[in-house]
Structure 1
Amino acid sequence: MTETDTALPRSGLFAAYALILLLLANIFNYADRALLGIVIEPMRKELMLSDTEISIVSGLAFSVFFLLAGIAIARWVDRGNRRLILALGVALWSAATAATGYAQDFYTLALCRMLVGIGEATVFPVALSLLADLYPGPKLTRTVSIFQASSGVGIMVGSVLAGILAAAFGWRTMFEIFGVAGLALVLLIALTMQPVPRIAAPGSQAVADSGILSAIRTILAIPGMGWLALGYGASNMMLACLPVWAPAFLLRSHNVQLAEVGALVGPPAVIGGIAGGILAGIVATRLIQRSGNRWAGLIVPVVALPLAAPAFALFLFAPTLPLVLLGIALMNFLLASSLGPCVALAVSLVTGSQRGVTSTLMLIAQNLMAFAIGPLLIGVVSDAIAPTFGAESLRYALALMLLAPLAASLMLWLARQRIAARK
């Protein structure tokens, strides 16, 4: 029986349980992403890696294969069994996470990160496709914001446990423990997640049967969609750099110990991110319901994102550690404003058979700009200016990200104008 053939309800306990499983998958997803950032310094020293090589394995190697796999997975999500896709993805990245504990050099570490990227490429398109069917209408924005906020929980859990486990058992064993834990989630999804019926849309079958390039062209032809994707990607640049470089920054510039760094970075980042993401989703949902326009909620990140720049500056240049942590909380609160409204708007502009590809296009923009280009640029600049600034080179390289939320706000404003003008 296919998902389309089922007649299961789309609300109540059925929808709530499906949402819980998706939240767990996303928590594991971001917990595994946070691991590398926490142990960058001991890994860098043991494997003799430069900041540029670290930025490649943490950003570029992960993102390139994440995106290549994501394009194929997107079409699979729009046609296939979403529960099976999610279970296989979690299994692959959990196995690759465990294998990271056996990395011997730059190349073996990069290979593990590539496999992690392929596995994690399943979560976002599967989740957005399912949530659009489970929570249609204005409440989709609020639900997607809650889903996106779970990434902060994953970062906190991963950061705190990674620091504790790495200090107690070493970074290699830490990766193995997280990998085994992910396999338990695979069993939970495979045994308890029920199929979700797809909401049919006029003309959706014709789109589903078209090629991937044709589908991408159709989606990008929607007025404002390109600016929406670019703005979403730019809005994530600071967020993506934080788990990769914040632990190393605190170790180098504030002499924080390895066992403490995750516990210090995680709580303010997560509390700020969850609060900001959920509040943004609630406000955006009310704006949409009040105006009757699906793009009305986009004004929330347009206003909030520029305010993240001074908060990031506080994180970088505050003289004391408490002020640094305050900067992390404030910037995450403001940056999280884009996560729910942008993605929910994107999938609401397309038919049911285009959601997987649409969510993957948003991921392409996010990963290329935020997870690949951003950390790589910081690593290259940090290495280049290290002869002059020494251990403080990372601080000044991170300052390049101050322009990102300003550019993102402008792009999202342009997207809002073009989407509104087409009606």
Structure 2
Amino acid sequence: MSDEAGFSRRYAWYVVILLTAAYAVALLDRIVISLLIEPIKQQFGLSDSGVALLSGAAFGLCYSIMALPFGWLADRANRRWIVTFGIASWSIATALCGVARSFTGLFAARVAVGIGEASLNPSASSIIADLFSGPARAKAYGVFVAGTSFGTGAAFLLGGAAIDAADAVRAHGGALLADFATWQIVFLLTSLPGLLVAALFVATVREPKRRERDTTTASPPLLPFLRANKGAVASVIIGLCCNLTSVYALIAWYPVVLIRVHGWSQSDAGYALGVIGPPAALVGAIGSGWLIARVNAAGRKDAALLVAIVASVIYGAMLVLSGLVADANLSLVFYFLGSLCSNSFSAAAFSALAQLAPNELRGRLTGLYTLMIGLVSLNLGPVSVGLFSDYVFGEQRLNLSFAATVALDSLLASVILLAGRGPYRRSVGAT
């Protein structure tokens, strides 16, 4: 069975699954550093806010800066090649993290990871919008966002396994790996899956025909669209970026809370989070896409925002509790409950932006969203916790720094998204 895009429904879902795998690899390469913060901090003599630059600013600045150029390309060029280039380049950059011998070298390699990963969201969002229409599009975005669950799980599980296997890998590597630290070997091992996904993507995916595109006029400029829909666009991008700020604080620092505050080993923390968090986030990612589609079909044009608001309240409450309780096992229970909502934010963002923007602007609007994620979420999430730790609560009460960051971000996100419902309904009602 084929649809109006010219592809079978089975093939369309195959492409979504492959894009989901790419998203998973991106998260793997992006966040495995959270398990390695303590040894990196010790090797280079860094403070909490200093090491947060590696997980936040080093990656986030170039990730954000390159989002708009890649969004511009996604609206004009072959998205299949953009995605392939991006996956291969960030995988190679992750390997370069593993051969870094200085803070400067590691910082530069993390910058390169950010540049490569900036290519994925604008092109993937645009491809999915051209493969699906109507309610199926929100469902497809939900599956795509599930890649963050797989990537987070892989980062924690494979990271923990790589830490345990580092000695054996070092022994088999002989003189080549003899003086490599464990954290360096982990980076080398986690760089490999992306190269396989890149090869599969270029070999099996075809560039889809662009849907709903006005071919009679030149591609419209972005700024007039933003001015005409400023309330809707601002509420979606800023509100959901606040949510993702708390998510990146969780990714960067919750493993360290288990290690530093609760006394767990790096590998034990990795295994526990890899088993507990991703299944919950996977259910939330797919479930939120289906829920948005269902609420939208019931006539609620602001379905994506409504789902994001409810998810924000639940996520904030659960993760604050996970940071405040003294028992590690109870903390993990609240972590699990909060993770049920963690992927709802990205699913809501992709669905809302695709609903707002015409085909000719989807890549650039998603690029603008990615820019804000990089400038705000990826930087402020990890760095806020580090600053609270260094200047307010102290290193040994990292759990309080984490809880404070999540509480502030979730509250701000809920207020912004509530205020944006009216402008959003007016904008989508006019299209």
Asked if Structure 1 and Structure 2 have the same fold, meaning a TM-score greater than 0.5 normalized by the shorter chain, the answer is yes
> Contact conserved, 2:66 with 2:371, CA < 8 A, in 1?
no
Cα offset for 1:411?
1.4
Residue in structure 2 matching 1:420, options 415, 422, 425:
425
Name the Cα RMSD after superposition. Answer: 1.9
Structure 1 residues 164-243: aligned runs within 5 Å:
164-169=161-166, 170-202=182-214, 205-207=217-219, 214-219=221-226, 221-222=228-229, 223-243=231-251
Following the alignment from structure 1 to structure 2, what is the Cα–Cα distance between the partners of residues 220 and 350?
13
Determine if the alignment matches structure 1 residue 318 to structure 2 residue 330: no
Aligned counterpart, 1:403: 408
Task: Provide the rounded CA distance (Å) in 2 between the counterparts of 1:257 and 1:206.
Answer: 57
Q: Given the alignment of the two structures, is residue 359 of structure 1 paired with residue 366 of structure 2, yes or no?
A: yes
Distance (Å, rounded) in 1 between the aligned partners of 2:23 and 2:216: 28
| Alpha carbons 1:31, 1:157 under 8 Å: kept | yes
Q: Which amino acid aligns with 1:185?
A: V
Amino acid at match of 2:258: L
Taking the aligned partners of 2:297 and 2:308, their CA distance within structure 1 comes to 17
Q: Does 1:305 align with 2:330?
A: no
Contact 2:158 2:190 in 1 (8 A): no
**Which residue number in structure 1 is paired with residue 335 of structure 2?**
328
* Counterpart residue type for residue 273 of structure 2: V
Q: Secondary structure at the match of 1:288?
A: helix
Name 1:148's counterpart in structure 2: 145
Aligned length in residues:
409
In structure 2, C-alpha distance between the alignment counterparts of 1:412 and 1:72, rounded to whole Å: 27
Quote the offset at 1:201 in angstroms: 2.4
Map 1:9-158 onto structure 2 (within 5 A): 9-158=6-155
| Structure 1 runs not aligned, ≥5 long | 1-6, 209-213
Cα deviation for residue 276 of structure 1 reads 1.8
Aligned-residue offset at 1:376: 1.2
Could you tell me how far apart the structure 1 residues matched to 2:126 and 2:99 are?
35
> Is the CA contact (8 Å cut-off) linking 1:288 and 1:296 kept in structure 2?
yes
Aligned-pair CA distance for 1:79:
0.4
Residue 224 of structure 1 aligns to a residue in which SS?
Answer: helix
Report the Cα distance in structure 1 between the residues aligned to 2:244 and 2:123, rounded to whole angstroms. Answer: 20
Are the structure 2 counterparts of residues 126 and 310 from structure 1 closer, same or farther at C-alpha, using a change threshold of 3 Å? same
Closer, same or farther: CA 45–257 of 1 in aligned 2, 3 Å: same
Q: Is the 8 A contact 1:315 1:325 kept in 2?
A: yes
Rounded Cα–Cα distance in structure 1 between residues aligned with 2:156 and 2:121: 21
Selected match of 2:156 from 154, 159, 170: 159
Distance 1:206 1:322 in 2: 58
State the alpha-carbon separation in 2 of the partners of residues 299 and 63 from structure 1: 28
Q: Residues 159 and 217 (structure 1 numbering): CA distance in 2 closer, same or farther, change over 3 Å?
A: farther
Deviations along 1:287-345, one digit per CA (max 9) or x if unpaired, are 11121x54234212222311222211221122212111111111121333322122211
- Aligned residue runs from structure 1 range 282-301, under 5 A: 282-291=290-299, 293-301=300-308
Q: Cα deviation per residue 1:255-306 (whole Å; 9 max; x = unaligned)?
A: 1111111111222221221112222221211111121x54234212222311
| Alpha-carbon distance in 2 for matches of 1:136, 1:219 | 23
Q: TM-score, length-normalised on structure 2?
A: 0.90
Measure, in 2, the Cα distance between the counterparts of 1:416 and 1:381: 32
Aligned partners of 1:229 and 1:362 also within 8 Å: yes
Deviation (angstroms), 1:105: 2.2
Q: Distance in 1 between matches of 2:215 and 2:409?
A: 38
Residues 174 and 390 of structure 1: CA distance in aligned 2, closer, same or farther (over 3 Å): closer
Change (3 A) 1:133 1:8: closer
Alignment correspondent of 2:169:
none
Contact 1:207 1:215 in 2 (8 A): no
Letter in 1 for 2:120: V
Shift of 1:393: 4.0
CA contact (8 A) 2:5 2:211 kept: no
- Alignment partner, residue 375 of structure 2: 368
Return 393-402 or 66-75, whichever deviates more.
393-402
Question: Is the Cα contact below 8 Å between 1:295 and 1:420 reproduced in 2?
Answer: yes
User: Residues 104 and 198 (structure 1 numbering): CA distance in 2 closer, same or farther, change over 3 Å?
Assistant: same
**1:95 aligned partner, one-letter code:** I
Per-residue Cα deviation, 1:110-164 (whole angstroms, up to 9, x for no partner): 1011000000011111110000000112221111111112211111011111122
Measure, in 1, the Cα distance between the counterparts of 2:414 and 2:136. 24
Which amino acid in the other structure matches residue 143 of structure 1?
A: A
| Residues in 2 aligned to 1:202 and 1:154: alpha-carbon distance in whole angstroms | 36
Whether the 8 Å contact between 1:33 and 1:155 is mirrored in structure 2 is: no
Q: 2:386 aligns to what? A: 379
Query: Displacement, 1:205?
Result: 4.6
> Are the equivalent residues in 2 in contact too, given 1:38–1:243 (CA < 8 A)?
no
Percent of pairs with identical residues: 26
Deviation per residue, 1:339-388 (Å, 9 max, x gap): 212221112211111111111122122222221112112212212246xx
Instruction: Give the SS at the match of 2:101.
Output: coil
In the TM superposition, residue 69 of structure 1 has moved relative to its aligned partner by: 1.2
Distance in 1 between residues matched to 2:303 and 2:205, nearest whole Å: 34
**Pair 1:280-2:288 in alignment:** yes
Q: Are 1:347 and 2:354 an aligned pair?
A: yes
Q: CA deviation at 1:216?
A: 4.1
Per the alignment, residue 270 of structure 2 pairs with: 262
Quick one: distance in 2 between partners of 1:24 and 1:385? 39
TM-score, scaled to structure 1: 0.92
Provide the secondary structure at the position in 1 that maps to 2:161.
helix
